[in-house]
Amino acid sequence: MKRKKIAAGNWKMNFLPQDVDQFIETFQPNTANAEVMIGAPSIYLERLLALKTKGVQILAQDVSIHEKGAFTGEVSAEMLAALGVNGAIVGHSERRTYHHETDEIIGQKVNACLRAHITAVYCCGELLAERQAGHQEKVVEQQIRVALSHLTKEEAVKIVVAYEPVWAIGTGVTASDEQAEEMHAFIRQVMSAIWDADTAAQIRILYGGSVNAANADALFACPNVDGGLVGGASLKVSDFTSICQSANA
């Protein structure tokens, strides 16, 4: 099963409007054989829609579990869809840590995206202490089962999973190709048990955690690594363009 690779940027809380405009002007990714996505602060989403003409998909970095109403500060999936935004990152470890998001809540965010027909990029991954204790598979399996196992097969193939070991995020410490492949193969096995092998074979699993222009080729060449979710390196046009090129290979 050939899965189209994805190079997805997660800008987190970076850039001022002029930086966004400069990025839009200069970013010219190859989207011939790969999907390119950028996850941006919600205030910049409308401005970034200009990149859709270059084949880039635009993601929010979070979404509300609610459809509408008295939820100050929240943005609904329906609003994103109506604006032309393609999807949302959900369950990023920074939201889990700083906003106490649980897999139950994140599962509802996935549902909100599915209801609005936008792509959910579901993030999971273990903490350093959990890997040091050898519990990484148990932790990630639990995250996936709690957040995603209620989905039908038809829904499951629409989501994207991002494995982001927390110890590799923003640290400059990347998982080795072997560690990434091992976990991605394990995640696919878990998804195969939840749905079936054919469904699991269709779901893209991205690696995130200190991906850069120098290590993307080798990471994306791993059989179960279907691209990357890129933080710091997605803020530099030249680096992110190179990472997009790695996804095209």
- Which residues carry out catalysis? 92, 164
Q: Which residues pair with 34 in a beta bridge?
A: 5
CB 4 within 8 A of CB 33: yes
Query: Between residue 71 and residue 130, which ones bind ligand 13P under the rule CB under 6 A?
Result: 92
Three-state SS string across 113-170, please? HHHCCCEEEEEECCCHHHHHCCCHHHHHHHHHHHHHCCCCHHHHCCCEEEECCHHHCC
Pseudo-torsion of CA 78, 80, 86, 87, nearest 10°? -80
Q: ∠ CA 167-93-151 to the nearest 5 degrees?
A: 125
Looking at the Cβ atoms of 107 and 208, the one nearer to ligand 13P is 208
Q: Which of residues 210, 224, 246, 248 is near ligand 13P by CB under 6 A? A: 210
230 near ligand 13P, judged by CB under 6 A: yes
Span of 22-30, 70-78, 152-160, 209-217 interacting with ligand 13P by CB under 6 A: 209-217
- The residue among 110 and 194 lying less far from ligand 13P, judged by its C-beta, is 110
Q: Considering CB under 6 A, how many residues would be counted as binding ligand 13P? A: 14
Phi-psi region of 160 (alpha: psi -120 to 50; beta: other; left: phi over 0): beta
Provide the mask over 159-178, with x wherever binding to ligand 13P is found by CB under 6 A and - wherever it is not: -----x----xx--------
The least distance separating ligand 13P from the CB of residue 51, rounded to whole angstroms, comes to 18
Q: 73: which DSSP letter?
A: T
Q: Residue 190 interacts with ligand 13P (CB under 6 A)?
A: no
Q: Using the rule CB under 6 A, which residue among 7, 34, 175, 229 binds ligand 13P?
A: 229
Q: Which residue from 236, 174, 230 is spatially nearest to 34, judged by alpha carbons? A: 230
Question: Among residues 20 and 123, whose Cβ is nearest to ligand 13P?
Answer: 123
Span from 27-35, 76-84, 190-198, 204-212 in contact with ligand 13P (CB under 6 A):
204-212
Least distance to ligand 13P from the beta carbon of 118, Å? 18
* DSSP helix/strand/coil, 90: strand
Q: Which residues bind ligand 13P (CB under 6 A)?
A: 10, 92, 164, 169-170, 208-211, 229-233
